[in-house]
Amino acid sequence: MATIRLGDEAPNFNAKTTEGDINFHDWLGDSWGILFSHPADYTPVCTTELGTVAKYKEEFDKRNVKVVALSVDGLDSHKGWIGDINETQGTTVNFPIIADEDRKVSELYDMIHPNADSKLTVRSVFVIGDDKKVKLIITYPASTGRNFDELLRVIDSLQLTAYHKVATPANWNNGEDVVVSPAIATEDIPSMFPKGHKVVKPYLRTTPQPNLD
């Protein structure tokens, strides 16, 4: 089994989902994507996670991000569970859930970790750019629910740094100052970042976020 690393092309696949059959790359189109797995249907932490994702759809849409979930349970199970999610989380599931009973996608993306569980997927997260390249990989244990505010924060950083020669510092949030790429000479900063800059150290220069008015 090949290990997926940052910068690799996200493996393509065909799958059955609660919103019909998809070809993953075709379904993504020119959008960014989040592919995330959950250990099983009708489990408490996953119920809260999928409800949270449904509530965040507007935020994902603003960032041109499509979200798709996965577990090794079947479509009938998924569809029954969606009723529970909608009821208990006060929302409506508005994204597809992949039925991966044959574990093809789980194995393609190395979502089953035998030391954790030999059959069920761990809480894997893959953020995929509009170039179909893997931008972020996070793996949580089954006992820990994911922080989707953090995933939005990371997507903001990934999209900003993909198009501007900057990086984001620790605990950065959208709208805050960013770090100028070390590859840019200090004397070139004013022409590239006209909002101003601060030299903390020769290797640490900050500037206001460039993609905001």
**What positions carry a catalytic annotation?**
46
d(CA 186, CA 131): 31
Tokens for 67? 């979200």
**Which two three-digit tokens encode residue 47?**
């119920």
d(CA 178, CA 193): 11
Closest CA to 179 of 156, 199, 195: 199
Is the Cβ–Cβ distance between 148 and 53 less than 8 Å? yes
Using CA atoms, how far residue 41 sits from 88, 94, 97, 164, in Å, is 14, 17, 10, 40
Alpha-carbon separation of residue 49 from 86, 185, 190 (angstroms): 12, 44, 44
Q: Where are the alpha helices (DSSP H) in 12-164?
A: 24-28, 44-55, 57-62, 75-89, 104-108, 148-163
